[in-house]
Amino acid sequence: MRWITPLLLLAGLAFFSGRVMAAELQVTQLLTGMDHPWSLAFLPRDGGMLITERPGRLRYWQPGQPLSAPIAGMPKVYAHGQGGLFDVVLAPDFAQSRRIYLSYAEAGKDDAGTAVGYGRLSENNLQLTDFKVIFRQQPKLSSGEHFGGRLVFDRQGFLFISLGENNRRPTAQDMTKHQGKIVRLTADGEIPPDNPFVHDDNARPEIWSLGHRNPQGMALNPWTGVIWENEHGPQGGDEVNIITKGANFGWPIATYGINYSGLKIPEAQGGVVAGTVQPAWYWQKSPAISGMAFYNADRFPQWKNSLFIGALKQQALIRLTLKGDVVKSEQRLLEDRHERIRDVRVGPDGFVYALTDERDGKLLRLGLE
């Protein structure tokens, strides 16, 4: 059973004078007092970053300075249940355009859905102007659950958006709906002509992959250029998936989880179902996974070829060691802090940064010594 792993107390190995020595994990608390921070993005030049807070605020922080007041010019956010302000990413041409992208829950007439837009960040990083919505999940079906909301640009400049199934299981297999899908757009929100279902009259042309439950982690593999994604299972069955064009990742017909009642998912046909793609990794006992980041920096060679994933319920930072596309081992970090890890990013300095999902949310910096 590959989900069972021992608790590892060391963060890696260092080599000195031909002897193997333990490398100790060093954790520095950089910020506190944020209200359920959800995502962060590093800004070039000044060493600062943007941080989203789920109630709808975007903040700017620079080392050695206090956290900014909320940035002006934000869209109206549906901040109920799991809804709120989610991801923030910089445009590939940010240095010229100053454009940033945001994902968030947006209210409809009755229910809510995930929306994505972009605006121009002022030179002092304190105001967003000319905000434009480029994508709205259709139809809006969420009463406050399963929004997804991660954003990733690939090497060609296409924007991938992860969308939860709004706790409406069958919609993840319904190609006429955005629920339970990953969609692919141009940076301006147009539909790329090579999307897999663009000529299918019975499918939404934005769809890139389907069969997802609540994908709250997504990252670009720096070695292959392929998008990886992770998602919450129900009770058990949390997954890491390698996203491929037009693929069906199974939810709810293929799952390793069960209902919270302890009963089988009504639509489920098992863990392996013909026509669906198996996860690259899964857990029988749900960590409740969130943000994720590949480690490809030179600062800590012991972490090379790693995938870091936040865990909410199990309150840890998970490190998966990779060999190509295969997960070879699993390690848990930060368990002694008893904090929900919402997002994780690798900074331009080679340190790992994590956000804790709390009313008194924290920004942590991790390294090895």
Catalytically annotated residues? 146
Of residues 273, 268, 209, 203, the one with CA closest to residue 241: 209
φ, ψ at 15 (rounded to 5°): -115, 130
Is the Cβ–Cβ distance between 56 and 151 less than 8 Å? no
**Rounded Cα–Cα distance for residues 369 and 367 (Å):** 7
225 contact partners, CB below 8 Å, separation of at least 6 = 154, 155
As a 3-state breakdown, the chain gives helix, strand, coil percent values, each rounded to 5, of 5, 45, 50
Other beta carbons within 10 angstroms of residue 337's beta carbon come to 17
φ, ψ at 325 (rounded to 5°): -95, 10
For 142-183, the DSSP string reads BSS---EEEEEE-TTS-EEEEE--TT-GGGGG-TTS-TTEEE
Peptide bond into 139 cis (omega under 30): yes
Is the Cβ–Cβ distance between 41 and 90 less than 8 Å? yes
Is the Cβ–Cβ distance between 368 and 24 less than 8 Å? yes
**Rounded Cα–Cα distance for residues 103 and 120 (Å):** 15
Structure tokens at 289: 């996974």
For 321-336, the DSSP string reads EEETTEEEEEEEESGG
Between the alpha carbon of residue 279 and those of residues 74, 107, 206, 242, 251, the distances in Å are 36, 32, 23, 7, 11
Radius of gyration of the chain (CA): 20
Other beta carbons within 10 angstroms of residue 240's beta carbon come to 21
